[in-house]
A and B are shown apart, each in its own frame.
Chain A
Amino acid sequence: MNETFFIEAENLTKHFGEVRAVDGVSIRVKPGEIYGLVGSDGAGKTTTMRLIVGALKADSGECSVCGYDVKKHIEDARSQLGYLSQRFSLYEDLTVLENIRFFAEVRGLKPDEWLPRSLEILDFVGLANFKDRRAGQLSGGMKQKLGLASALVTRPRVLLLDEPTTGVDPVTRQDFWQLLIRLVSTPLHLPPNSENLGGVSRRDEGGVAVLISTPYMDEASRCNRIGFMKSGRIIAEGTPWQLRDRLTGRVLELRGSPLNVLRRAAHSDPDVEDVQAFGDRLHIRVREKKADDVLSRLKSRIRSAGGTIEDLRVTSPGLEDVFIALSEASNE
């Protein structure tokens, strides 16, 4: 059966002079799906998003949003889009409500529509009590929520969020994700006359398609699918579970003391690829099928070096382990 994708990017490429910011990226996001783009600084996440929203013109490749080709029908595509840019900022001299109103009207809401919709959305993000406050006087997290609100006010079917939670406190990040998850899981209320928008019929509606970039692995693990970007390419893609599975059986968790002795011992083992500290414990990545060998060798090695082991066992890998492994692998 033919699946519907709200975002369909095919082989996007963008150069900035010598820099290949985006190098053949293909991304497909279904309605109701949250797709996470992760990758280190300069990997090309922002550029990819800007290509999809048409803020930049791709050197090559195809891209469509809700069936509208971004090159040919940019205005139709944009009417389906909500975009929160990485360096998002509002008009600080306008109030919360004025900001939302502006973006609502500019994006085509009618004079009698914007107010109920804005209030509804402010309520949704929890800013209803601050509607008359100047945006410049909001906290960082509130600004991000207002950003989300102004991206959402036209009920877009496609949402692109570029590091929306960077620099936001953990509690607000939680809130933010709760909002997102509620958003994708609620079916859209399309206006009655929008039957055939972009060739996507009402039957296909399952919710919103979200493309989000984030530097936080705990956030990445909440996505339905993750694309890991490096040097302008997506070098791995899959559900968090699939990605973690790549390292199943290859990560050992070690607790004990002193840490530097443990670390040195682990590093000296020929089958150990990488050692990372996570708080009071070490994650040791070993070559394929070598976990048991390393396990036994390590015990004696640490004891003879004068360290004590509280706990040493095979653990389920975190996304962080996967990404470190992926980054290194593609460096070689």
Chain B
Amino acid sequence: MNSRLVSVMRKEFIQAFRDRRTVIMIVVMPILQLFLLGYASATDVKNIPIAVWDQSQTPQSRALLDAFRSADYFRIAYAVSSQAEIQSLIEQGSARAALIIPPDYDRRLLENNAQVSMILDGSDASVGATALSVAQLIGQSYGAKIVEEQAALQGRPMLSASPLQVRTQVWYNPDLISAYFMIPGVIGQLLFMITTVLTASAVVRERERGTIEQLIVTPIRPWELMVGKITPYVILSFVEVIEALIIGHWWFKVPVIGNLGLIALSSGLLLLSSLGIGLFASTVAHTQQEATVMVQMTMLPSIFLSGLFFPIDAMPRVLQWISYLVPLKYFIITLRSLMLKGAGLGTIQNQVIPLALFGFIIMGAAARRFHKTLD
């Protein structure tokens, strides 16, 4: 192998491990963040305000409402009488969910095929997730109770199917509702942030210290220097992905259904973007501080517009448009569908293609600038 390349890599590795900041970023931060955010998102949400449109207005329907009331997850905050009211309450955020009981509820309950519908505001993922699962639980246990009662009262045989279906419908972001929603996001964000920050200082550091002048006059080629500088961080990043996957999978019990190869591939594509951004900042900035500030400017939109904490679909249009420029967004969506749903390449291609595109463009630009600074 190219020995100049190897010696640049070796040097960068030594420097990375001697810098306490790097070690903390690579080893401690992932653990800290995973635990903080993993747990923060797993906390239960209580007293979710809901609106109720009871079109049936029968003892049976009121009994169902009691069942909802007695589980202290929900608080019946509004009784409404139209779809439009529900819409506006949820839009305002006054109600997080709405329960609609159809006019023929009592009759169909007797026929064992009653349906109520639950509309959920998915924009707050943890609330949405809780509401969804609780509503279904309530529906099931209430249904089971009715079956028992009927069997006892009328001597009818126990039905295997529940007489009551709670049909849920999630508004704004149908996919985001998952208890495991957070972990893939955190992995993406960590990967992105750490590699960007670390590479951002890679070139500036040489310029600030004056060592670049020495490097320029050696026979080293720009690409060797660039690849040599980046590779150690790529390796460290993959170590980090593995670390995060292990914690996520064995501690938080997040399923990793998808193909590990695809996870590696999409991580690689994200790295292309993050290393590109870091390298670019590094060639533009004059001091490490300047580079850090530049990188932080890309960090904010990446965290807020990537769907990490806040679902993109619930955002104002303008922000949604901007989010198309956020590579982390594509990655988080990809990683969520890979880890949780075991998606294949076909399903994620709509994310992977823009991610790759972004990565190649920014990396290309960074490489050009890198060449220039060495001239």
Chain A contact residues, CB within 8 Å of chain B: 53-55, 57, 75, 78-79, 81, 83, 85, 87-94, 98, 101-103, 105-108, 110-111, 150
Q: Which of A54, A93, A101 contacts B7 (CB 8 A)?
A: A101
Q: Which of A53, A75, A85 contacts B210 (CB 8 A)?
A: A85
CB distance A106 to B8 under 8 Å?
yes
- Interface size of B as a range: 20 to 34
A97 to chain B, nearest CB (A): 11
In the bound assembly, the distance between CA atoms of A79 and B218 in angstroms comes to 7
B216 to chain A, nearest CB (A): 5
A107-B210 contact given A91-B15, A98-B14, CB 8 Å threshold: no
A81-B14 contact given A57-B375, A105-B7, CB 8 Å threshold: no
A316 to chain B, nearest CB (A): 40
Q: Which of B7, B209, B217 contacts A102 (CB 8 A)?
A: B7
Q: Which of A94, A101, A107, A111 contacts B218 (CB 8 A)?
A: A107
B91 at interface, CB cutoff 8 A:
no
Interface-centre pick from A57, A89, A92 (highest chain B CB count, 10 A): A89
Q: Which of B1-57 contact A (CB under 8 A)?
A: 3-4, 6-8, 10-11, 14-15, 18-19
A-chain residues with CB within 8 Å of residue B220 when the two chains form the complex:
106
CB distance A83 to B214 under 8 Å?
yes
In the bound assembly, the distance between CA atoms of A75 and B218 in angstroms comes to 8
CB distance A106 to B215 under 8 Å?
yes
CB distance A75 to B7 under 8 Å?
no
CB distance A78 to B217 under 8 Å?
yes
B219 at interface, CB cutoff 8 A:
yes
CB distance A53 to B218 under 8 Å?
no
> Chain B: which residue is nearest A90 at the CB level?
B211
A85-B209 contact given A57-B375, A94-B15, A108-B4, CB 8 Å threshold: no
B85 at interface, CB cutoff 8 A:
no
> Chain B: which residue is nearest A111 at the CB level?
B3
A55-B209 contact given A91-B15, A93-B18, A110-B3, CB 8 Å threshold: no
Q: Which of A78, A90, A94 contacts B219 (CB 8 A)?
A: A78
B66 at interface, CB cutoff 8 A:
no
B-chain residues with CB within 8 Å of residue A89 when the two chains form the complex:
209-211
> Chain A: which residue is nearest B18 at the CB level?
A93
B-chain residues with CB within 8 Å of residue A91 when the two chains form the complex:
11, 15, 209, 211
B213 at interface, CB cutoff 8 A:
yes
